[in-house]
Each structure stands twice: as C-alpha cells, then as structure tokens.
C-alpha cells in the first residue's frame, strides 16, 4: 500500500509525534531502498541547518521570502528531525520525499537563472575568481560574494520563480513539507555547493577566470571534473561520489573504466 495519496482521497491524518514521524521515515526509507530506490536523505547534525558559505547563504535567502515567513520555522524543524528522506536536485528541479503524517511527495521547479542576469554576474566577477574551490567554498572578497548573493541580481531565485507542489492535503502555498525541502536544499549545499549552479542551470566555470581565459591551458580543461572532485573532497571532508550529483559523479565513473 502506497503512503502517498492524491488530494481526492486524502483527509487530514492524525498528527504524529516527532518520534513517530522519525520511525515512519526510517520504515519508509527502508521499504524504498529494498525496492532499489537510491535515496539521498537530508541528514542534519546539531541544530544548524547549514554551516558552509553557500548553505548558509541559501537559508538566509529563504528567510527573505516574506510571503513564506510564517511557514518556514516549521519546515526548519522538520528538516532538522530527518523528515526529508530523499532529496534529488537537478537543473531547475527539486524532487523529495518528506515524512509528515504520511510520506509526501514534494516537487519544486525553479526557473533557470535568466541569461542576461548570468552574463552580468560573469562580467562583474571577471578576473576576481581564480578557482572553482574558492568559488564553492565562498572564499572570495566580500564584494564578489555580495554580488553573487544579491537577493535580486544574484544567483538565488526569487519566490516567484519557484513552482511548488506537495501531495499533502494542506492547501497553503507553502506547507511545512515544502519548507523542509527548501531548507534541505541549504543542507545539501554544505556537501555539494556546486549543486547551486546545477539547480540554476548555469556553468560555474563561466565565473572562474582561469577556466574562461584558458590561463591554465588544456590541462585545466581536461582535468576539470577530476580536479573538482579531489579538491572538493579535501575542502568539504566528504566523498563526493554519492547522491545525485552528476557534475562531480560523472567524471569519476568514467575514470574508473580504463582502456587498456
């Protein structure tokens, strides 16, 4: 029996305690894994959703969405409690499963970053970003970071650019499951900040001087993926071969299959 129900047959189910929700989340995750679905849950240790530059910047940006203000705190605690049992990010697309009174399917579509805005960012950051690592760890001058994080002209989407959908019976524009997923995205950026660029449909290398100017020649271009993986693993202290992070995963897989 599926956990998911459509709007038609659903009624507001009994509210579960946090413990019950967590147990349900574990049960459902185990069931889906058994069926072969590869889950990428949002795991948050401690009370802080995100602790790296881009993760924090994303969460801060969310809190500027005044239209969602009242729903965000509930989503934050949902995210912290391990309710987001699966989160998959792709270009302009967020797909997630959230354990609430039942397990709900969440879909968020995000408009791609408008080309003129991206071009303006690239122009304004020209010569100021020397490496992907600097960019992804947020170790750039305050002026550059402020430019990239500008609520209106930067990398982040406005609330109007989000198209939100959740299978729960809550008819509010932003239910707590959607809010939990929005925070979960911030937590995911802690592990894989490059997913911000994937999500917005832009190539982060456009911002990096060495890559755009070809300053390091073909070597830089050739080892693009590999270099990112190693450097990112060093910086973030994690293996970047899991989850749905095509940008970092792909080159690694290819390297593994050697021609002899």
> Which residues make up the interface to Zn ion (CB under 5 A)?
166, 168, 170, 175, 177
CA angle 48-51-57, nearest 5°?
105
Q: How far is the CB of 176 from Zn ion (least distance, A)?
A: 7
Q: How far is the CB of 175 from Zn ion (least distance, A)?
A: 3
CA of residue 168 relative to chain centroid, distance: 22
List the alpha helices (DSSP H) in the chain. Answer: 18-34, 53-62, 72-80, 115-125, 132-137, 142-149, 176-191, 195-199, 209-213, 217-222, 224-236, 246-256
Q: How far is the CB of 177 from Zn ion (least distance, A)?
A: 3
Q: How far is the CB of 42 from Zn ion (least distance, A)?
A: 16
Residue position matching structure tokens 């970092």: 248
Between 166 and 187, name the residue whose CB sits nearer to Zn ion: 166
DSSP β-bridge partners for residue 108 = 94, 164
Between 134 and 170, name the residue whose CB sits nearer to Zn ion: 170
Residue position matching structure tokens 């239209």: 67
Between 18 and 115, name the residue whose CB sits nearer to Zn ion: 18
Between 179 and 208, name the residue whose CB sits nearer to Zn ion: 179
Between 166 and 199, name the residue whose CB sits nearer to Zn ion: 166
Q: How far is the CB of 159 from Zn ion (least distance, A)?
A: 17
Give the relative orientation of helices 72-80 and 176-191 as an angle to the nearest 10 degrees. Answer: 50
Phi, psi of 20 (to 5 degrees): -65, -40
Distance CA 154, CA 171 (A): 31
Between 175 and 247, name the residue whose CB sits nearer to Zn ion: 175
Q: How far is the CB of 71 from Zn ion (least distance, A)?
A: 10
């Amino acid at each position: 029996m599926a956990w998911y129900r459509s709007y038609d047959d659903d009624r507001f189910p009994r509210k579960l305690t946090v413990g019950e929700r967590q147990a349900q989340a574990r049960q459902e995750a185990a069931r889906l894994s058994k069926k072969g679905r590869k889950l990428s849950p949002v795991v948050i240790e401690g009370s802080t959703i995100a602790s790296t530059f881009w993760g924090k910047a994303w969460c801060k940006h969310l809190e500027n969405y005044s239209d969602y203000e009242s729903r965000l705190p509930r989503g934050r605690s949902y995210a912290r409690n391990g309710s987001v049992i699966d989160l998959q990010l792709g270009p302009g697309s967020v797909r997630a499963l959230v354990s609430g009174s039942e397990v709900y399917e969440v879909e968020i579509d995000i408009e791609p970053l408008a080309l003129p805005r991206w071009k303006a960012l690239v122009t304004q950051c020209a010569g100021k970003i020397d490496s992907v690592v600097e960019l992804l760890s947020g170790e750039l001058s305050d002026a550059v970071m402020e430019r990239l994080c500008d609520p209106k002209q930067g990398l982040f989407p406005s609330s109007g650019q989000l198209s939100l959908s959740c299978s729960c019976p809550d008819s509010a524009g932003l239910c707590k499951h959607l809010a939990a997923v929005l925070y979960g995205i911030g937590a995911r950026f802690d592990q894989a900040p490059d997913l911000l660029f994937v999500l917005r449909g832009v190539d982060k290398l456009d911002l990096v001087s060495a890559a755009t100017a070809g300053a390091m020649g073909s070597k830089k271009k050739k080892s693009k993926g590999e270099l990112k993986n190693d450097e990112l693993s060093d910086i973030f202290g994690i293996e970047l071969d899991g989850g749905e992070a095509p940008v970092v995963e792909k080159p690694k897989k290819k390297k593994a299959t050697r021609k002899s």
